[in-house]
Amino acid sequence: MIESLHYLPVAGSTHAALSERFTDLAPPLTARQAAIESARCLYCYDAPCTRACPTGIDVASFIRNIHDHNVDGAATTILQANIFGGSCARVCPTEILCEDACVRNNDAEGQPVKIGLLQRHAIDNAQFDGHPFKRGPSTDKTIAVVGAGPAGLSCAHRLAMLGHDVVVFEAREKAGGLNEYGIAKYKLPGDFAQKEVEFLLSIGGIEIQYGRALGVNLQLAELHTRYDAVFLGLGLAVSRELGLTGENAPGLMAAVDYIATLRQAEDLSALPVPRRAIVIGAGNTAIDMAVQLKRLGAEEVTLVYRRGFEAMSATGHEIDIAKAHFVRMRTWAAPLEVLLDDAGRVRGMRFEETRLQDGRLVSTGGIIEIAADAVFKAIGQSMGLAALTDPLAREIERSDKILVDDGFRTALPGVYAGGDCVAPGQDLTVQAVQHGKLAALAIHHDILSKAEAAWPT
């Protein structure tokens, strides 16, 4: 997909210099800083920070362990609830979850306890002698997991802990899902995502088969027959269309495709970088795209959204990051037309000004034109239809996403689903991890219940 930008100049710096712009967004806490910060925690009973955490991490307990110089104990507490505790400490929107709920988050205190940085401190400094969790007694059951993203791998890890064998089918050449391909490089720098996957797999009992895509060289009917249960962690692989003429012109592409290429690039200086760019969208992916373009050397990046700031799905923290990088933000402007040059390449976009009328978004009649060498769309993603095309898959009830019950069971017995491909949730990594964990517990319960029912009385 990035071939669409082949005519653009490459980043105007060396790989080494550019890599310095993609280190951790925030520096880690020193041991002394962690000690001071952990002392601020009140270790609340029925702590609101824990209730705000989608994975239910016992925040007060792990912070007390840090305060007592028991870093390994702190890390174990985190990983018991969230095996992706390291990446979530970096990418989780703590400002709207645990830290927002912190009792110190008030005018008198000035700021909440730095829960995210303390969590990162615990995971980064733990020194385990082997994997911290052991596998349970073998159940002689094997479960298929489709998708090696946070949901699928969280499910696989919990199933392995419970004594099941797991085979994970992954379409790409690396595991990790969004952590590997879709998160801003300055949030998960280097090979952090792969090291986390390696740590997770070290529990044993999990096999990953790469290059296996559901609906292409893998069918649900086959998995349903061969395995004791199936978990679908398909994610959202298809970028939504603007529905405009010229959408396939050179210079217009999905933001997620550029981000994936950036994350996998061995030489950042070889990446095509527009001098002027437009990013269409209002979520964290749009912010990630805009900020990374600025870090690569783009002179002018404009983020355009059809509604106002208050409707943006990006958090206030993310918006502040964009502002700090001098990303221009234009609200109340809806895409109207892709502007092309004589060679048929993107030269800008035309937008119509919008406003709310009786709760509906309407055009004001005003027109805005923004010049750009490239346009990146970050207007959301859908699951796509290719994955669930065989006759058995059609029995799974879905709207734009797969519908599941409280145990992440689909309408098809023995088939479960979680992560971004299911209806509940906010498409957050931390929620995908929780979906996978809860689905694993439901699978384990259902398999044991079925086995008990089959025993002679």
Any idea where the domains of the chain sit in the sequence? 22-125, 142-236+383-454, 239-381
Q: Provide the 3-class DSSP secondary structure of residue 232.
A: strand
Domain spanning 239-381: which superfamily?
A: FAD/NAD(P)-binding domain (3.50.50.60)
pLDDT of 2 above 90: no
Over the stretch 112-127, which tens digit does the pLDDT of each residue have?
A: 999 999 999 999 999 9
pTM: 0.94
Query: What are the tokens at 145?
Result: 């997991």
Provide mean pLDDT across the span 226-245. 92
**Class in CATH terms, 22-125:** mainly alpha
> What pLDDT is recorded for position 63?
98
**226-234: average pLDDT:** 96
The Cα 407–Cα 397 span in angstroms is 15
At 53-91, the pLDDT tens digits run: 999 999 999 999 999 999 999 999 999 999 999 999 999
Residue 456: band (very low, low, confident or very high) from pLDDT cuts 50, 70, 90: low
Q: Do domains 22-125 and 142-236+383-454 have the same CATH topology?
A: no
User: Strand pairing partners for 330?
Assistant: 304
Q: How confident is the model at residue 145 (pLDDT cuts 50, 70, 90)?
A: very high
Place of tokens 């994955």: 387
Give the mean pLDDT of 227-253.
92
Residues 6+ apart with CB under 8 A from 138: 163, 165
Q: Is the pLDDT of residue 23 over 80?
A: yes
User: Does domain 142-236+383-454 match CATH 1.10.10.10?
Assistant: no
What is the pLDDT, as a whole number, of residue 449?
86
> Which pLDDT tens digit goes with each residue over 388-433?
887 888 888 877 789 999 999 999 999 999 999 996 666 789 999 9
Mean pLDDT of the chain: 93
Q: What's the distance, Cα to Cα, between the start and end of the chain in Å?
A: 60
Task: Please tell me the predicted confidence (pLDDT) of residue 425.
Answer: 63
